[in-house]
Amino acid sequence: MKYEIVHTNTFKYDSEVDQSLNTIRLKPLTDEVQRLLQYRADIAPVSLTQEHTDLWGNRVETFFIPEKHRLLEVKTTSLVSIQRSPFADQILYSDRMRAIFHSELFRQHYLSYLNETDYTYLEPAQLAEAQRELGGMNNPVQYAISVMQYLYRTFTYDGQSTQVTTTARQAYGLKKGVCQDLAHVMIGILRARRIPARYVSGYLYVGENSALKGDAATHAWVEVMAPGIGWIGLDPTNNVEALGNHIRVGTGRDYADVSPLQGVYRGGGSTLEVSVSVRLLEQSGQ
């Protein structure tokens, strides 16, 4: 699959601001199944970016606007190719995988994805409720799939019920939320079972006549570490494995590690308008 993604963030300020320092994480990743073919960031007022790779392997761009302005627009255009086949349901959990999963080396290596954060913490009573529904955990991959199915079944997708600062604990209490909330709740449940899980930010291609949700802005899902195999993407918002229509931009412990745009400035309040367009250019095999 080959996609063109156009993502525009427009900040409108109540009054003139100056000395705006901003950080963006909008550049899609390149790895064994996804390749970034082209990328461009257009910023108004015009500014050049400085790029670095963060602790989690994400591409981060920073820019500074010294002059006064009442509007800031960040428009990124990306061309991405993806070749990813489903395999989560086909994994046979071997004795060797079990030994790796229970080893101290495995735990230490993925400790960052085992510790709870403010976003992913769940109350003991909430974890107990989820675990009663899910039962025991013998195969971490199958257990993660069961968690995805449980959340899809019990949560209502509702864009008005939560905010970007909503935590897993709050979303679980509501049994409502958006993709960010479901990802945080899923991560909290998995980490409680000592399954390494990380937050993924990216884009979702929905196409025509699709029941998939999450294409209006950036999308979020979860990746779990399969011992001896690698990271597997699971999308609790849509109850699907993250495959060729999930375009990865960043990964981290939670949303705070992959926030698409962060900034500080001198001035008054602001409003943000976000527009995301994902266009399929070429299907697999063409």
pLDDT digits (tens, 9 = 90+) for 190-199: 999 999 999 9
Q: Are residues 33 and 117 in the same domain?
A: no
User: What average pLDDT does this structure show over 147-157?
Assistant: 97
What would the mean pLDDT of 254-269 be, rounded to a whole number?
Answer: 90
Q: Look at residues 166, 147, 153 and name the one whose alpha carbon lies nearest to residue 234.
A: 147
pLDDT of residue 120 exceeding 90, the answer is yes
Q: Nearest-CA neighbor of 242 among 25, 84, 5?
A: 84
Kindly state whether residues 11 and 101 are assigned to the same domain.
no
User: 286 or 188: whose pLDDT is higher?
Assistant: 188
Q: Give the per-residue pLDDT at 209.
A: 59
**Are residues 105 and 207 both part of a single domain?**
yes
Q: Is 229 helix (H, G, I), strand (E, B) or coil?
A: coil
C-alpha distance from residue 19 to each of 13, 60, 68 (Å): 13, 20, 7
Q: Would the pLDDT of 286 be above 60?
A: no
Residue 219 scores a pLDDT above 70:
yes
- Provide the domain limits for residue 202: 88-258
pLDDT score of 284: 65
Summarize pLDDT for 85-118 with one digit per residue, the tens: 777 878 888 999 999 999 999 999 999 999 999 9
How many domains is the chain built from?
2
Mark whether 92 and 205 lie in a shared domain: yes
Pick the range with the lowest mean pLDDT from 8-17, 158-167, 209-218, 264-273: 209-218
Q: What's the mean per-residue pLDDT of the chain?
A: 93
Q: Which two tokens stand for residue 203?
A: 């884009």
Instruction: Tell me: do 173 and 143 sit in the same domain.
Output: yes
Residue 125, pLDDT above cutoff 70 = yes
| Whether 96 and 75 share a structural domain | no
Q: For residue 278, what are its two tokens?
A: 């994902």
DSSP for 66-120, please give it.
Answer: -S-EEEEEEEEEEEEEE-----GGG----HHHHHHHTSHHHHHHTGGGTS--TTT
Residues 188 and 207 in one domain: yes
Average pLDDT on 240-254 reads 95
CATH number at residue 73: 2.60.40.2250
Q: What is the CATH number of the domain that holds 211?
A: 3.10.620.30
Place of tokens 């897993």: 168
Same domain for 100 and 45: no
Claim to verify: residue 14 and residue 65 sit in the same structural domain: yes
Q: What is the mean pLDDT of residues 67-93?
A: 89
Q: Where are the alpha helices (DSSP H) in 155-239?
A: 168-174, 179-192
Indicate if 75 and 150 belong to the same structural domain.
no
Tell me, yes or no, whether 252 and 267 share the same domain: no
Between strands 34-44 and 156-157, the pairing is: unpaired
7 and 69 assigned to the same domain: yes
